[in-house]
Amino acid sequence: MQSPLTDSRESPLQRLWEDARRRPTRLRPGHLWAPLLPLALLAWIGAAIMLAFGFIPGVFTPVEGSLYDGQLPFNYSPIWPLLAGIAVGSGAAATGYVVTSTGVDHPRHHVLLAWCAGVATPLIPLLVLAIDRSWMAIPAAAAWFAATAIVIAFVHVRHRPPAPWLALLLAVLVAAPWIPAIYANLRFGRALRADPPIPEPELLKMLIADISTQTYVPGIALAFVAAMSTGGVALAAHSRSAVAHRISEHRGGWWATALLCAAAVGVIALEVSGIGGISSGFLDDYWGLGDLWTWPHAIVVALAITHVTRRSFRSPLEQRGDVATTLAVGVSALSGHIVIAVAMVVNLIASAVIGPLHDIVPVPAELGLVIAWAAMAALIPIAVSARWSGTVGRAVARVSLLFLMPVYIGVMGQQAGMDWPRAFWAKAPQVAICLTVVGCIAALFGRRYFSAEMINRLVLVPLLIVSGTSWLPSLIATPLTPVIAVTAALFALLWAMPPAALDRNEHSGVVLTVSAQLLLVAAAAAVVTRLPDVAADDPTLALLLFSVPLSTLLCAKVTSNAA
């Protein structure tokens, strides 16, 4: 064990390395309830398998086939591992959120997440079975009703976590409705390769049993990508980006701040110029400087973030309202994903009631606009009510409205056919550039008013958030998307574990929820590998809207005793 003198002489990099090295010990597998330990291990192993699929090209590429001398063409993909990952991940997530939502001072949004994972997710395969009029819909419905009853009983009636074996049973019940879909996909794939060949009438029955699964898997993947994006922002809101804060709190002096500012300027120069193919591989002109009239908006937003950060360093803000505001921004940014999910659910329910539909039930295109603006309206009470005075939630709400309202008015006006004479709304990279300029000017001339730690946050945090995967050359960005997603989820898993000892219920809930997120993100990343068009642009578009509110949250200094 090192002495205090030795510890005080450690460099910032040594302290970061030692902290990162100790992080895995916080998982403490032996501290989980024994029945839930296999579930956590299964989630970790499943995530590793899903990540491996991200490296193997063509694993889920559809295979073309036909029946009856080419009169009935079809495509088959061996997606049963993805379904198994979603099944196990949703079961672990449901169990974890039921446990965490019944703890003392639990995050309020975990109740909603318990319903999403334990009730809404297993309803999807149940409706698919109902569409096919399969007898397996009966036991699947029984499992769904039992899982729903457990969620309601412990979350809303008893207000305490279920016993370990009952918690494991909940995970099994949530995963059970996926078993017929997994079996149908696996059975059809084996039948196509059977020797001697199986009669075509039998193959037709297997095709019908599998086709619904093939149809709805992309929609399920999109829903999970959206949910994990929003959940990831909420997780960042709770953890407050400990890494960025540790880097910003280093004791290296003003010379280190000067080096950080110089490095940020260099990164921005490379991003804007695009030398060597270093630019976003997903969106054109991601780091473009934009129209001249967009810069006043970027400058105003950057000054607002600077004001919030400087005020928080004089008097730390209360950490309240952070999750509510970031989730509202998440719902608004992901309104397009939500519309897709609503369309999928509406058509699933309609098909389950009246049988397979030849034409899909349309969902109004304006629904996305309604969701986006409703989520923005939810920020107004937090931004103006005296109840939220002195909280980080109010700061995030005000900056979010200041940044997103002009963006939504401009972009949605264009979509509605309005021809603006000038673009007046800024992009997130422009705000990051302005904050870097503010940091550089403050480091040179404003040392009486700005601390080194504050400048480090203003320069470091927005640039890290906005850059995302755009720092990777375009040619390798898309193949590495699954790796990036799972690595980020694994990092969140280790960093979300609190250092203080929790009781076995709380510890089991935290480990299961974050392990489930790791597996679900890995499964969604594998779906992305099968369907590259699904997830390339979508997370980047969400990041453009998330980044400025999240920068406000992570730059501010909050009270350490806040929940």
> pLDDT higher for 139 or 246?
139
Total count of residues recorded for the chain: 563
Asked if residue 151 lies in contact with residue 118, where contact means CB atoms within 8 angstroms, the answer is: yes
Is the per-residue pLDDT at 252 higher than 60?
no
Q: DSSP string covering 25-37, please?
A: GGG-GGGS-GGGH
Identify the pLDDT of residue 242.
Answer: 47
Band of residue 358 on the pLDDT scale cut at 50, 70, 90: low
Please state whether the peptide bond connecting residue 532 to the residue before it is cis, i.e. omega within 30 degrees of 0: no
Is the per-residue pLDDT at 477 higher than 60?
no
Over the chain, what is the mean pLDDT? 76
Q: What are phi and psi of 317, to 5 degrees?
A: -80, 150
The secondary structure of the chain in percent helix, strand, coil, rounded to multiples of 5, reads: 75, 0, 25
Q: What is the DSSP letter of 161?
A: P
Q: What are phi and psi of 66, to 5 degrees?
A: -155, 160
SS3 456: helix
Please state whether the peptide bond connecting residue 196 to the residue before it is cis, i.e. omega within 30 degrees of 0: yes
Is the per-residue pLDDT at 399 higher than 90?
yes
151, two tokens:
């969620």
> pLDDT higher for 393 or 490?
393
Identify the pLDDT of residue 537.
Answer: 46
One-letter amino acid of 475 = L
> pLDDT higher for 439 or 30?
439
105, two tokens:
């001072």
By C-alpha distance, which of 309, 195, 203, 165 is closest to 248? 309
552, two tokens:
């406000």
Is the per-residue pLDDT at 236 higher than 70?
no
Q: What are phi and psi of 318, to 5 degrees?
A: -75, 135
Is the per-residue pLDDT at 536 higher than 50?
no
Q: What are phi and psi of 186, to 5 degrees?
A: -65, -40
Asked if residue 357 lies in contact with residue 347, where contact means CB atoms within 8 angstroms, the answer is: yes
One-letter amino acid of 331 = V
As to burial, measured by CB atoms within 10 angstroms (0-12 exposed, 13-18 middle, 19+ buried), residue 21 is: exposed
Identify the pLDDT of residue 540.
Answer: 53
Band of residue 184 on the pLDDT scale cut at 50, 70, 90: confident
Domain range list for the chain = 28-54+76-239+479-531, 240-474+536-563
SS3 194: coil
The upper half-sphere exposure of residue 352, i.e. CA atoms within 13 Å in the direction of its Cβ, equals 16
Is the per-residue pLDDT at 480 higher than 60?
no
> pLDDT higher for 326 or 224?
326
pTM metric for this prediction: 0.69
Identify the pLDDT of residue 237.
Answer: 46
Band of residue 3 on the pLDDT scale cut at 50, 70, 90: very low
326, two tokens:
């970031």
> pLDDT higher for 540 or 214?
214
Residues of the chain with pLDDT > 70, as a percent, come to: 70
Is the per-residue pLDDT at 361 higher than 80?
no
By C-alpha distance, which of 342, 317, 283 is closest to 545? 283
- pLDDT tens digits, 266-276: 888 877 877 76
Average pLDDT over residues 192-221: 75
- pLDDT tens digits, 486-535: 555 566 556 555 555 567 777 777 778 777 877 776 776 666 655 554 44
- Distance from C-alpha of 248 to C-alpha of 251, rounded to nearest angstrom: 9
Q: Count CB-CB contacts under 10 A for residue 91.
A: 30
SS3 122: helix
